[in-house]
Amino acid sequence: MRIAVLSRNSKLYSTRRLVEAAKAKGHEAVVIDHLKCSVSADIGRPKIFYNGEELTGIDAVIPRIGSSVTAYGTAIVRQFEMKKVFSANSSIAIVRARDKLRSIQILSRHDVGIPKTVFANHPRDIDNLISALGGTPVIIKLLEGTQGIGVVLAETKKAAKSVIEAFYGLKADIIVQEFIKEAGGADVRAFVVDGKVVGAMKRQGAEGEFRSNLHRGGSSKPIKLKPAERKAAVLAAKAMGLAVAGVDMLQSERGPLILEVNSSPGLEGIEKATEKDIASKIIEFIEKNAGKSRKVDKVGA
């Protein structure tokens, strides 16, 4: 089988591990920079070109689409889908997961536990937004933020109003969420493949840091999920239509609360924390499903 990893950098840990895992199982693996692809649309004849030459002979793709190029990257994934090439994650599921507000609405509709969240498009509702969450402290997030960037903890009402007004002034879209104090600056990342949790780690923020992202200096360790946490992770991935997902959650007094479902979760942190070969689990999922007809999922709006 010929598997294409859609990635802009062949040297990235996740990209390298997927290529290694595919080759270890006897497959041919190629890295394709999706930004160097172009498409040709004709009735019944979808084509993809890479560096000016038609790309053929691909049996499956693993999208590693960065958030800054979601629109173009998912257009390339969609073209592969039109050519009946199996994709580890569908284009629509990737688009859905990248929209934080849309994700929250979908998770809420599927009865997945999430932090209380409010959203508005004008500053006159700031007092009502904060009151709806039970007061401060609150977490303010840019809808386009990644890796903890654009996430602010406002400990007082005055601070919250200042931050929200500043974001509104920049015409930035935000959501405001309750602060889960008992989480203690930590969260849990569960890695889901094909409806099963294949690895989990607890990430702890650096001293004085409420964000637990490893990119922000946090640390990680393997963790055995409670049944409710495992169930929440699988349900969240399924609700988003993602076969491969990194599900981030907080451990709260009222149970697991899902923060985000990542469609291109990094492998380095989870593999090093758990010492598990997660990349091979993804290849095994592709082996199981490539070549089969796959219905376009109808989850979400």
Do 6 and 47 reside in the same domain of the chain?
A: yes
Percent of the chain with pLDDT over 70: 90
* 270-291 pLDDT per residue, tens: 999 999 999 999 999 999 999 7
pLDDT at residue 299, rounded to an integer: 47
CATH number for the domain harbouring residue 174: 3.30.1490.20
Handedness of CA 239, 245, 250, 251 (dihedral sign): positive
Q: What angle do CA 152, 259, 121 make, to 5 degrees?
A: 55
Report CA-CA distances (Å) from 129 to 123, 155, 187. 10, 15, 24
Structural domain that includes position 133: 126-179
Task: Please give the mean pLDDT across all residues of the chain.
Answer: 90
Distances (CA, A) of 98 to 66, 69, 91, 183: 10, 11, 11, 24
Q: Report residue 226's pLDDT band, with 50, 70 and 90 as the boundaries.
A: very high
In contact, 198 and 278? CB cutoff 8 Å:
yes
Name the residue among 216, 174, 221, 183 with its Cα closest to residue 202: 221
Taking only the tens place, the pLDDT of each residue in 154-187 is: 999 999 989 888 888 888 888 899 999 888 888 9
Residue 135, pLDDT above cutoff 50: yes
Band (120; pLDDT cuts 50, 70, 90): confident
Residue 49: is its pLDDT beyond 90?
A: yes
When pLDDT is averaged across residues 250-261 and rounded to a whole number, the result is 95
Give yes or no: residues 78 and 220 share one domain.
Answer: no
Does 147 lie in the same domain as 27? no
Q: Which pLDDT score, from 0 to 100, does residue 242 have? A: 98
Q: Tell me if 296 is assigned to some domain.
A: no
The count of structural domains within the chain is 3
Q: What is the predicted pLDDT for the residue at 298?
A: 47
User: What is the rounded average pLDDT of the residues 199-227?
Assistant: 76
8: pLDDT confidence band, cut at 50, 70 and 90? very high
Residue 248, beta-bridge partner list: 189, 260
Token couple for 289 = 């499903």
In a domain, 163, yes or no: yes
What pLDDT shows up at residue 301? 47
pLDDT at 275: 96
* Other CB atoms within 10 A of residue 204 CB: 16
- Examine residue 119 and state whether it is found in any structural domain, yes or no: no
Q: How far apart are CA 50 and CA 34, in angstroms?
A: 8
The predicted pLDDT at position 172 comes to 83
User: Does pLDDT of 195 surpass 50?
Assistant: yes
Residue 298 in domain: no
CATH number of domain containing 211: 3.30.470.20
194 and 170 in a single domain? The answer is no
pTM, to two decimals: 0.88
Q: Could you give phi then psi for residue 294, rounded to 5 degrees?
A: -125, 125
Question: Quick one: which of 63, 67, 64, 8 has its CA closest to 36?
Answer: 8
Domain-located, residue 256: yes
What is the model's pLDDT at position 196?
98
